[in-house]
């Protein structure tokens, strides 16, 4: 069996870029399930973007309005067909990996070859973080553009607190937020703690799927018919701001603030803030449908996907891999006036998770995305 090695791809960076892009797409559950779909028109817009361009425009027709006319001798009333446009932002990401010749000799293997084979898997994880950041932004329960699709039961106290737990009933209430478009949902993103809770309640269904191509059999897991993706990058809140005198208070420091802040609803300051750990964290669970996202790679003017380099004096080999892509929720527009950090010209994940950076451009029922905010027992 032929083995693709880093040395094969190192000679031609273009082939390495094609290899990693194709492999990432092949491995993506979101792509294979149809949740994220390519768009050749968007690809053309990316490739046509000038050097330094940051946005592309996505024109669309507005919904038709007006009432039908009863057939009569009077002239038929004429309605207008109007257009609008949404903006999508380019995402520019890059990463460099390296290995020393010494580690090659001592380790008995080629670290750079291993890096080459792992690049696609690494990008897959980063792309999934991008999807979750976008979803966090548009599904913010207070100011998100799709806040009407958020079913927040986390504050329920009935049934000894169990009414705040994820359940079949709460899930069905969540899909009902889409009204008669509820059938467009087909996949559920959940935290591993939520997944384990549902396992304990025997709510996870495993269905063996036979692959006629290679004769293998895999198990497809689902919850109420929704295909499951488990990711601990899912948002959860498990800390509450407190006073230093509060029992069990934890001091927020420069060492732990990055671990605590994403899971606390209050803005914290290292050195002065304190928090307590909640007994029952609040988790988000996302439901998605086919075509919820556009996912398209591109190569705008001046873009170099892969480069290799060698430091002869330091005996180090480097590979630099870059991605230019659009990962955009259909029906939304990116805020081209968003505030960027100094020296940054393309959105960070934190920016993608900021509600003010997104606006809804279509009927909410046409967006196959919803969220259940809940606790677990």
Q: Is the pLDDT of residue 290 over 70?
A: yes
pLDDT for the residue 64: 75
pLDDT digits (tens, 9 = 90+) for 162-181: 999 999 999 999 999 999 99
318 pLDDT band, cuts 50/70/90, is confident
Residue 1 pLDDT exceeds 50: no
Residue that is written with structure tokens 């100011």 in the block = 143
User: What is the reported pLDDT for 4?
Assistant: 35
**Contacts of 307 by beta carbon, 8 Å cutoff, 6+ apart:** 13, 319, 320
As a whole number, the mean pLDDT across the chain is: 86
SS3 letters across 320-337: EEEEEEEEEECCEEECCC
Q: Please answer whether residues 368 and 278 qualify as being in contact, where contact means their C-beta atoms are separated by less than 8 angstroms.
A: no
Cβ neighbours of 89 (radius 10 Å):
21
- Of all residues in the chain, the percent with pLDDT exceeding 90 is 59
Q: How remote is the C-alpha of 86 from its chain's centroid?
A: 19
The pLDDT value recorded for residue 2 is 42
Measured distance CA(59)–CA(36) in Å, rounded = 19
**Band of the pLDDT at 207, cuts 50, 70, 90?**
confident
User: 207: which 2 tokens?
Assistant: 């269905």
Q: What is the pLDDT of residues 91-120, one digit of tens each?
A: 999 998 776 654 554 455 555 556 666 788
Q: How confident is the model at residue 245 (pLDDT cuts 50, 70, 90)?
A: very high
6 has pLDDT over 60:
no
Question: What mean pLDDT is predicted for residues 66-85?
Answer: 82
Region 321-342: mean pLDDT is: 95
pTM of the predicted model as reported, rounded to 2 decimal places: 0.82
95, 118 Cβ separation under 8 angstroms: no
| Half-sphere exposure (Cβ direction) of 44: Cα atoms closer than 13 Å | 4
Residues 266, 163 contacting (CB under 8 angstroms): no
């Amino acid at each position: 069996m032929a083995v693709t090695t880093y040395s094969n791809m190192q000679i031609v960076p273009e082939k390495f870029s094609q290899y990693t892009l194709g492999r990432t797409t092949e491995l993506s559950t979101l792509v294979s399930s149809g949740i994220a779909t390519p768009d050749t028109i968007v690809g053309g817009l990316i490739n046509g973007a000038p050097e330094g361009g940051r946005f592309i425009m996505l024109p669309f027709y507005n919904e038709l309005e007006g009432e039908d006319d009863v057939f009569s001798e009077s002239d038929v009333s004429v309605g207008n067909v109007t257009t609008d446009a949404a903006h999508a932002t380019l995402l520019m990401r890059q990463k460099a990996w390296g290995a020393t010749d010494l580690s090659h000799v001592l380790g008995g293997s080629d670290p750079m070859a291993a890096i080459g084979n792992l690049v696609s898997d690494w990008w897959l994880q980063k792309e999934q973080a991008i999807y979750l950041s976008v979803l966090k932004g548009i599904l913010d329960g207070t100011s998100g553009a799709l806040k009407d699709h958020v079913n927040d039961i986390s504050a329920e106290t009935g049934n000894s607190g169990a009414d705040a737990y994820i359940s079949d009933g709460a899930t069905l209430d969540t899909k009902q937020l889409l009204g008669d478009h509820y059938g467009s949902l087909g996949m559920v993103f959940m935290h591993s703690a939520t997944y384990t809770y549902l396992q304990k309640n025997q709510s996870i269904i495993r269905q063996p799927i036979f692959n006629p191509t290679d004769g293998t059999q895999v198990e497809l897991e689902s919850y109420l018919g929704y295909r499951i993706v488990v990711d601990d990058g899912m948002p959860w809140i498990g800390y509450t701001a407190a006073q230093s005198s509060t029992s069990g208070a934890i001091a927020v420091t420069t060492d732990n603030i990055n671990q605590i802040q994403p899971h606390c609803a209050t803005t914290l300051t290292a050195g002065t803030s304190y928090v307590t750990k909640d007994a029952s964290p609040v988790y988000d669970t996302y439901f998605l449908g086919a075509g919820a996202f556009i996912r398209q790679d591109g190569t705008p003017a001046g873009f170099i996907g892969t480069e290799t380099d060698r430091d002869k004096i330091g005996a180090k080999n480097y590979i630099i891999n870059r991605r230019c892509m659009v990962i955009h929720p259909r029906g939304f527009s990116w805020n081209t006036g968003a505030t960027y950090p100094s020296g940054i010209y393309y959105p960070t994940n934190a920016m993608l998770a900021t509600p003010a950076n997104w606006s809804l451009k279509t009927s909410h029922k046409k967006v196959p995305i919803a969220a259940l905010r809940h606790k677990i027992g």
